[in-house]
Homo-oligomer: A and B are copies of this chain.
């Protein structure tokens, strides 16, 4: 079938079939590409999503995912990091692709295809809460989102689905926790993330048995009950275990 096509073609440029359709190649270079960031944080036992208020048409005044058009000479993965940097000052945060959205009329300005990226933010390390609540940047509770611009609602839904799957086969939950955390913190996070309840004693045993947690020898202070030990995620141990075929499972 490919043969037939090629034989009808006088000059084939770039791609296999494009010339066959007698459309000049320039006509294909009319897309714009954007990235939209699903930035999740965890605060006071709730999952939070970073939103900005749009200062421009279309959807002026509506809340939206932080996003931007990619430059014609910019790697899209780097574009995602750039947007995150612009908005939060954060660097060295892994941006992970979720999906790409290419419906024809998703953006009124023209043909804008957008790539979703999510990242998990340790709120303590970055702590955008204080300065951000006042302005037009908002950490919204994931279960109580306002109306969102464009198709951002469904982009967020997809990202959450992907995250919830990934979080139980990879130790990415730690990215949402502060450097030092208790097993209780960790359990609460996973319970919020997966919307379940775990038996406390069993959860603890499971986590400790994986060998991913390093005991800091420090303990909580200022709590009205027996203080818990503080742990850190042992990245080195994790890489070693991966080498030996270990897989995080929850």
Verify if A143 is at the interface (C-beta below 8 Å from B): no
Minimum C-beta distance from A137 to chain B (A)? 6
Q: Chain A, 47-78, contact with B by CB distance < 8 Å: what is the 0/1 string?
A: 00000111111100000101111111111110
Contact at A12–B103, with CB atoms within 8 Å?
no
Verify if A155 is at the interface (C-beta below 8 Å from B): no
Verify if A220 is at the interface (C-beta below 8 Å from B): no
Contact at A68–B30, with CB atoms within 8 Å?
no
Copies in the complex: 2
* Nearest B-chain residue to A21, judged by Cβ: B71
Bound-complex Cα distance A111 to B70 (A): 12
Bound-complex Cα distance A73 to B12 (A): 21
Contact at B28–A30, with CB atoms within 8 Å?
no
Contact at B55–A16, with CB atoms within 8 Å?
yes
Contact at B111–A72, with CB atoms within 8 Å?
yes
A→B interface (CB under 8 Å): 1-3, 5-6, 9, 12-19, 23, 25, 27-34, 52-58, 64, 66-77, 79, 86-87, 97, 99-100, 102-104, 107-113, 115, 135-137, 165, 169
Contact at B31–A104, with CB atoms within 8 Å?
no
Q: Which residues of B contact A113 (CB under 8 A)?
A: 31, 33, 76, 113
Point out the residue from B15, B53, B54 that lies within 8 Å of A68, measured CB to CB: B15
Point out the residue from B27, B29, B56 that lies within 8 Å of A16, measured CB to CB: B56
* Nearest B-chain residue to A137, judged by Cβ: B2
* Nearest B-chain residue to A115, judged by Cβ: B100
Bound-complex Cα distance A52 to B3 (A): 10
* Nearest B-chain residue to A69, judged by Cβ: B28
Counting from the closest, the 10 A-B pairs by CB-CB distance are A76-B102, A12-B56, A14-B109, A6-B55, A31-B31, A100-B100, A28-B32, A30-B72, A29-B32, A28-B69
